[in-house]
Structures are given as C-alpha cells and as structure tokens.
C-alpha cells in the first residue's frame, strides 16, 4: 500500500485533474488505485472532486465514495475547511480522516490523497 498526497499552491490549481489523470494512468497499468479528498467544501453529497476523479478515470462512483470513506467531510460553504466547518457547525476530527485513509490503503494498492485548497490552507483552527 502507498499513499501519495497531491497538493497545489491554491484552489483551482489543477489538483483534481492531475489526481484523476494519475489514477487513470495507474489503473491502466493494472494498479488497484483509488482517490481520496479528505475535505470538500462548497457542495453536498459525494465530493465534486471525487466525482471529477471518477469521470477522468472512466468509472462510476464507488461504494467507498457513496459511504463517505473517500471524502469524510463534505461541507456546504465554499471556503477554507476550518471556516466552512465553523459555518456548518462541524468539528473536524483528523483521526476520522486518518482512519478513512487507512481503510482505503487496506483495500487498494495506491491511494491518491488530494488536499483541500492550497498548501497553507488550515484544516482546523
């Protein structure tokens, strides 16, 4: 199992596209790969970025997407995770994020973990 963290210097830097393309390339080589987004803001339901990854990979949403494992925190307000969590009255448990990543790494050969926002975006206060 291997977990690779993919980040960028800002929102809309291309992280989701790069993550999806890397996942598609690895899957094409026979690697059992999944993508993860530990926090998504500005949407509801399944993470928009996870859905973008699946579209690029050419596969439908997976069970681990539907049960929230690939994105344990989805918040409605489009802001940095800590601010969106305050507005949505959600307490971010980094342990839950870690457990989700550990679960995925036990099921897949490679986990591509896409960060939220840019490198210095705070997850919690």
pLDDT score at 112: 99
CB atoms within 10 A of CB 17: 13
Domain segments of the chain: what residues? Answer: 2-114
Report pLDDT for 125: 76
Say how far apart CA 50 and CA 71 lie, in whole Å: 8
**Per-residue confidence in pLDDT tens, the chain, 125 aa:** 899 999 887 677 789 999 999 999 999 999 999 999 999 999 999 999 999 999 999 999 999 999 999 999 999 999 999 999 999 999 999 999 999 999 999 999 999 999 887 777 778 87
Cα three-residue angle 7-62-104, rounded to 5 degrees: 55
The CATH-assigned architecture of domain 2-114 is: 3-Layer(aba) Sandwich (3.40)
37 among known catalytic residues: yes
Give me the catalytic one of 29, 37, 66, 89: 37
In the three-class reduction of DSSP (H, G, I as helix; E, B as strand; rest coil), residue 114 is classed as strand
């Amino acid at each position: 199992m291997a977990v690779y963290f993919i980040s960028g210097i800002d929102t809309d830097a291309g992280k989701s596209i790069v993550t999806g393309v890397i996942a598609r390339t690895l899957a094409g080589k026979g690697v059992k790969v999944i993508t993860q987004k530990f926090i998504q803001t500005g949407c509801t339901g399944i993470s928009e970025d996870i859905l973008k990854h699946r579209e690029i990979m050419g596969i439908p949403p997976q069970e681990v997407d539907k049960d929230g494992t690939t994105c344990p925190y989805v918040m409605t307000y489009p802001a940095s995770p800590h601010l969106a969590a305050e507005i949505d009255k959600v307490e971010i448990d980094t342990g839950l994020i870690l457990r989700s990543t550990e679960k995925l790494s036990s099921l897949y050969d490679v986990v591509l973990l896409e960060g939220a926002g840019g490198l210095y975006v705070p997850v919690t206060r």
